[in-house]
A = this chain, B = another copy of it.
Amino acid sequence: MAVTEAREPQTPESRRNTRELVLDAALASFGTAGYDGTSLDDLAAGLGIRKQTILYHFVSKRRLLDAVVDRCAGDLAAALEQVLATSRTEAPARASASASSSDWDRVEAMVRVVFRIALERPVLLGLLREVSRPGSPGAVRVRTHLEPLMARARRWMEDEMAAGRMRRTDAQLLLLSAYSTVVGVATEIEVLRAAGVGPTLRPVVRRRAELLRFLRSSLDPSA
C-alpha cells in the first residue's frame, strides 16, 4: 500500500540527467548559500532525492564543488574559445574607426562575452564570488582553470605588444585587474538585487564601459 508512490519510473533518460540536475542545484546553492551553508541533505531534498545518491555520483561534497567549478569553467572557456574562433573572421566587418582593427575587437568581444555570460546566468556570479574567497575550497580549483587561460592571454598580449599593435604595459597586472573587476561586478549585482533594485543593467553596463575604456587606454597604441 504505502509503496505505491515509492520511486520514480527512473527511465534511462532520467537516470542520466540526475547528475546534471544535481550539478545545477549545487551551483545555485553554493552560489547563494555558500559552500558551508549548503548541506547535502537539503540539496537532495530539493531534488526529491536522497543524499546518498549525490554521494554516489560525486564521491564527496568537496568533489561535488570541484565538479561544479569544472563545468562552469568549461562553459566559460568554451565561450571564449568561440569568440576567438569567430572574431578573427567577423571582426574586419566592423565599422569602428580605431587603429589596429581586429586586435582591439577581440579584446572587446571577449569582455562582452564574459559580461554576457555573467548576466545570462547569474548563479555563475554567485559561485565565482563564493569561490574567489581566499582560503575557500575550490579557490585553488578555479585558479588551476584560470591560470592557463590567463597565461595564454598574456602571451598573446605580449606578442601584440612586441609587434607594436598594442601599447606596452604589464599584461599580467592588466589581466588580473580585469578579472577582479568582473568578480567585483558579481558582488555588485547581488548587492543591488538585495537592495530591491531588480536585474538592472545600468550599473553593469557602466562598469563594462569603464573596463573597456581602461583597457583601451592601456592597450590602444593610438591613444
A-side interface residues toward B, CB under 8 Å? 32-37, 129, 132-135, 139, 143, 173, 176-177, 179-181, 183-195, 197, 202-203, 206-207, 210, 214
Given contacts A134-B190, A183-B188, A185-B184, contact A197 B176 (CB under 8 A): yes
CA distance A108 to B133 in the complex (A): 30
Residue of B nearest to A213 (CB): B210
Looking at the complex, which one of B35, B132, B135, B202 makes contact with A187 (CB distance below 8 Å)? B132
Counting from the closest, the 5 A-B pairs by CB-CB distance are: A184-B184, A36-B36, A134-B194, A180-B188, A184-B188
In the complex formed, the residue of B with least CB distance to A146 is: B195
16 further contact pairs, Cβ within 8 A, besides A133-B194, A179-B191, A180-B203: A32-B134, A33-B36, A33-B135, A34-B34, A36-B37, A132-B194, A134-B194, A139-B194, A143-B194, A173-B197, A180-B187, A180-B188, A181-B188, A184-B184, A184-B185, A187-B187
Q: Cβ of A193: which chain B residues have Cβ within 8 Å of it?
A: 134
Residues of the B chain whose Cβ atoms lie less than 8 Å from the Cβ of A214: 206
Instruction: Return chain B residues, CB-CB under 8 Å to A143.
Output: 194-195
Known A135-B32, A176-B195, A203-B180; contact A129-B187, beta-carbon cutoff 8 A: yes
13 pairs across A/B with beta carbons < 8 Å? A129-B133, A129-B187, A132-B187, A132-B194, A143-B195, A173-B202, A176-B197, A180-B188, A180-B191, A180-B192, A186-B187, A206-B214, A210-B210
Alpha-carbon distance A37/B34, docked complex (angstroms): 9
C-alpha gap A67/B43 in the complex (Å): 31
Return A201 CB to nearest CB of chain B, in Å.
12
Q: In the complex, which residue of chain B has the Cβ closest to the Cβ of A193?
A: B134
Contacts of A176 in B (CB 8 A): 192, 195, 197
A179, closest chain B residue (CB) = B191
Chain B residue nearest to A126 (CB atoms) is B133
A184 / chain B contacts, CB cutoff of 8 Å: 184-185, 187-188, 191, 207
CB atoms of A187 and B177 under 8 A apart:
no
Residues in B with CB closer than 8 Å to A34 are 34, 36-37, 133
